[in-house]
């Protein structure tokens, strides 16, 4: 039986960092680098953070994708078409990002150094998204959707169509749970685009080594819910309401006093480090 209270998910006094409309930084690794640095601060006693962001045109690969024989050629094709590309250091597989895709990062301290409660951490994001969509009347299910891109045990779906994927990055003292939410536009078109990437990157590789993406597996919140056009903006407002419902005045004063934002130079330095560390291997 599903838990029906947001209080069960441990999201008390999470600080909101809304970067939805901060679109000047075109390097898609910029928000990932920001997450990485904020996670370090959280692990050192900083606040828990909910980071919301978008990117106008990016294609993010998983580590496994980067090892496909044609990954380098596929990446160069994407870059020639104006896509910012990267390999991320969290789990998951290839994901296209655009202004209709909402990204959420929950950055939270570990309860203990030897904490390996991966499922509990994923559940926090599931709880946040499920409660944000509660007013739509739609049931949000979790579990891998066959044929979806970036498939995983914590695929979130409505009516059998995936609209959200979740990945995780763990540091020594804190962790990041990252979700992409297909909010506006066509989920099918994005899935077809990811399929075209694998057609080029896999180059006849064994089908067990990459996701077999089917266009009909994925849909957007605009397509699946009553939110309609502007579903992304409505969804973000709902997420912020859920987060705010768990904040207290005293808790926010303490969280804000502990927040130390990295400088732009620090973020760019981390982005460069991530790019060199997780670059596509030379064939």
Tell me the DSSP string of 174-193.
EEEEEEEEE-SS-HHHHHHH
- Per-residue burial over 66-97, b if 16 or more Cβ lie within 10 Å, else e, is bbbebbbebbebbeeeebbbbbbbbbbbbbbb
Catalytic residue set: 150
DSSP string, 233-283: HHHHHHHHHHHHHT--HHHHHHHHHH--PPPHHHHHHHHHHHHHHTPPPP-
Q: Is 113 exposed, middle or buried (0-12, 13-18, 19+ CB in 10 A)?
A: exposed
């Amino acid at each position: 039986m599903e838990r029906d209270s947001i209080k069960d998910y441990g999201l008390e006094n999470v600080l909101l960092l809304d970067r939805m409309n901060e679109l000047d930084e075109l390097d898609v690794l910029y928000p990932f680098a920001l997450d990485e640095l904020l996670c370090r601060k959280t692990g050192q006693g900083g606040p828990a953070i909910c980071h919301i962001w978008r990117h106008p045109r990016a294609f993010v690969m998983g580590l496994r994708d980067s090892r496909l024989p044609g990954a380098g050629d596929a990446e160069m094709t994407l870059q020639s078409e104006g896509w910012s590309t990267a390999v991320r250091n969290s789990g998951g597989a290839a994901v296209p990002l655009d202004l209709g895709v909402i990204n959420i990062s929950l950055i939270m301290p570990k309860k203990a150094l030897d904490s390996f409660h991966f499922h509990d951490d994923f559940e926090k994001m599931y709880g946040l998204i499920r409660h944000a969509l509660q007013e739509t009347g739609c049931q949000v299910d979790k579990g891998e959707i066959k044929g979806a891109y970036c498939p995983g045990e914590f695929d979130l779906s409505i009516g059998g169509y995936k609209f959200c994927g979740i990945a995780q990055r763990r540091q020594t003292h804190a962790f990041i749970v990252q979700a992409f939410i297909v909010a506006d536009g066509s989920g099918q078109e994005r899935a077809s685009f990811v399929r075209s990437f694998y057609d080029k990157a896999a180059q006849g590789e064994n089908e067990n080594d990459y996701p077999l993406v089917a266009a009909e597996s994925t849909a957007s919140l605009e397509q699946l819910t009553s939110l309609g056009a502007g579903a992304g903006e409505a969804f973000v407002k709902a997420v912020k309401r859920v987060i705010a419902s768990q904040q207290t005045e005293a808790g926010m004063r303490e969280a804000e006093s502990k927040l130390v934002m990295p400088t732009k130079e620090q973020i760019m330095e981390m982005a460069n480090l991530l790019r060199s560390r997780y670059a596509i291997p030379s064939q």
